[in-house]
Amino acid sequence: MGALRSADGSTAVVIAGGGPTGLMLAGELALAGIDVVIVERRASQVVDGSRAGGLHARTIEVLDQRGIAERFLSAGQKHPKVGFSLIPLDISDFPTRHNYVLALWQSHFEPILADWVGELGVPILRSCEVMGFAQDGTGVDVELSGDTSLRAKYLVGCDGGRSLVRKTAGIDFAGLDPSTSWMIAEVEMDEEPELGFRRNSVGTHALGRREVGEPVRVVLTERQVEHTGDPSMDELREALVAVYGTDFGLRGANWISRFTDMTRQAASYRDGRVLLAGDAAHVHPPQGGQGLNTGIQDAVNLGWKLAQVVNGTSPDSLLDTYHAERHPVGARVLHNTMAQVALGSPDDRHQALRDTMIDLLGMDEPRRRIAAMLCGLDIRYDLGAGHPLVGRRMPDLDVHTADGPTRVYALLHDARPVLLNFGEAGGFDIAPWAKRVRLVDASHEGVWELPVLGEIAAPPAVVIRPDGHVAWAGDPTDPELPHALATWFGAAAPGR
């Protein structure tokens, strides 16, 4: 077997899978100067249309933190409502610059993200598969198709729901088997079909198109849960006739696929030098459109931590905070998708429950809470007690700095931590972290408002991690500040 790199562990990180999660993680690592390689089974970035249809507010914020949101915004359409089991919830009053869902098919999203990763110089080994691996005390030997291998310090499985990395690591994927199956297709029809939702004793069905002249998207709940392989044209025609009494002159299909409500999560996101992110770590039904979004945010949580461990800034234990922070977020996504599937069940009792939920979600407070959960704006990592901002995402405030007016997310474009000081300049000696943490003296006029919580007291200073979450907030004289900097960005060491 030939080795593509030297056997001393010089490739820092191998990422199995160049889907949304793997691409985002590669970009984060490359920004931190880490030597990273993506191994991707597909020959190109082409993905059929059967997958994610949009980006939620927090994902767009995360892309904004890297200065690339505009690339996606210019390719999609904004909608002011998120859907909880198809119950529309308006988020246009949310305190974010991105108070909408961006409709953008995954087939468009991936090439845009891949372009960014390409600009950052990340090599992608295409038509190449991770076949297995073995880890030891200093690295991981990653076995590839074509009888080659890579030696890396860390391997990250971003290889989707059937993750070989997860299985080879022996990580349990506990959860629920499917209870419902849906057929999904993009079709050409001679007749104009009846667009919108239809419910019957089997479940909810939908026909729709985003733009006039585009092919029709079909989603049909199936009577049977167990299937082998993708559905055929005949099965699609039969299912259409069963629901609508006609196939609307079905002429052809660009693709036909199916998905289920299987709901599973990896028991651990880490096994030594092997980590999991995205669908490899969690699968759930697409209700609420959270899968791709959760994977992107996994990647942004993991990227800077892995970079700091690889370059020796932080101890290996920093990687444990990835599981500690992201596993509960994934568990919550699984939980809310299970609730959404239940609310879509066609029987009378579930429909009564659905009506009750519609009533509740018509009220302001429940709407805010559920919508903020769906779009990821309410995430709070448990970093201990303190100011309400600690563990939450930093709002994208307009600020004035010595370099002129800017906004907070522009300060995060290079994925480096920031100590943002709103008080007297010079109140804290940043020298021991100066090479790792950027100190910015700033002022902000106006209130600080967080999703769900509302207005909060403005802190005199905040430490913002590269993922945009606040690690510490308070007065720069607080003895906890050096402790927080050391915890997250390595021990005090002038010159490092």
Ligand X SMILES: Cc1cc2nc3c(=O)[nH]c(=O)nc-3n(C[C@H](O)[C@H](O)[C@H](O)COP(=O)(O)OP(=O)(O)OC[C@H]3O[C@@H](n4cnc5c(N)ncnc54)[C@H](O)[C@@H]3O)c2cc1C
Footprint of ligand X on this chain (CB under 6 A)? 16-22, 39-42, 50-54, 106, 129-130, 158-160, 164, 184, 259, 278-279, 286, 289-293, 295
From the CB of 431, what's the least distance to ligand X, in Å? Answer: 40
Measured between alpha carbons, how far is 65 from 96 in angstroms, rounded to an integer? 13
Query: Pairing mode, if any, of strands 461-464 and 454-456?
Result: unpaired
14 contacts 156 by C-beta, under 8 angstroms: yes
Q: Buried b vs exposed e over 248-276: b needs ≥16 C-beta within 10 Å?
A: bebeebeebbbbbbbbbbbebbbbebbbb
Percentages of the chain per state (helix, strand, coil), in multiples of 5: 30, 30, 40
- What Rg do the C-alpha atoms of the chain give, in angstroms? 24
> Rounded to the nearest whole angstrom, what is the least distance from the CB of residue 428 to ligand X in the complex?
39
Reported in sequence order, the residue ranges of 172-319 that DSSP labels E, i.e. its strands, are 173-176, 181-189, 196-199, 204-208, 216-222, 250-260, 263-266, 270-271, 274-276, 282-283
Nearer to ligand X, 83 or 482 (CB): 83
Measured from the CB atom, the residue of 17 and 490 that comes closer to ligand X is 17
CB closer to ligand X, 375 vs 383: 375
Residue number, 22 or 490, with CB nearest to ligand X: 22
Q: Whose structure tokens read 């970035």? A: 45
Dihedral pair phi/psi, residue 87, rounded to 5°: -85, 115
Give 336 or 421: the residue with its C-beta nearer to ligand X.
336
Name the residue nearer to ligand X (CB basis): 71 or 444. 71
Rounded to 10 degrees, the C-alpha dihedral 323/324/328/329 comes to -70
| DSSP label at residue 56 | -
Instruction: Decide whether 173 or 428 has the Cβ nearer to ligand X.
Output: 173
Nearest approach, Cβ of residue 77 and ligand X (Å): 14
- Least Å from the CB of residue 295 to ligand X: 4
Nearer to ligand X among residue 175 and residue 423 (C-beta): 175
Q: Which two tokens stand for residue 209?
A: 């198109």
* Minimum distance from residue 307 beta carbon to ligand X (Å): 19
To ligand X, the closest distance from the beta carbon of 7 in angstroms equals 21
Strand partners, 173: 266
Query: 129: Cβ–Cβ under 8 A, 6 or more apart, which residues?
Result: 39, 41, 144, 145
Distance in Å, CB of 174 to ligand X, minimum: 18
Closest contact distance (angstroms) between CB of 285 and ligand X is 8
- 8 A C-beta contact, residue 247 and residue 208: no
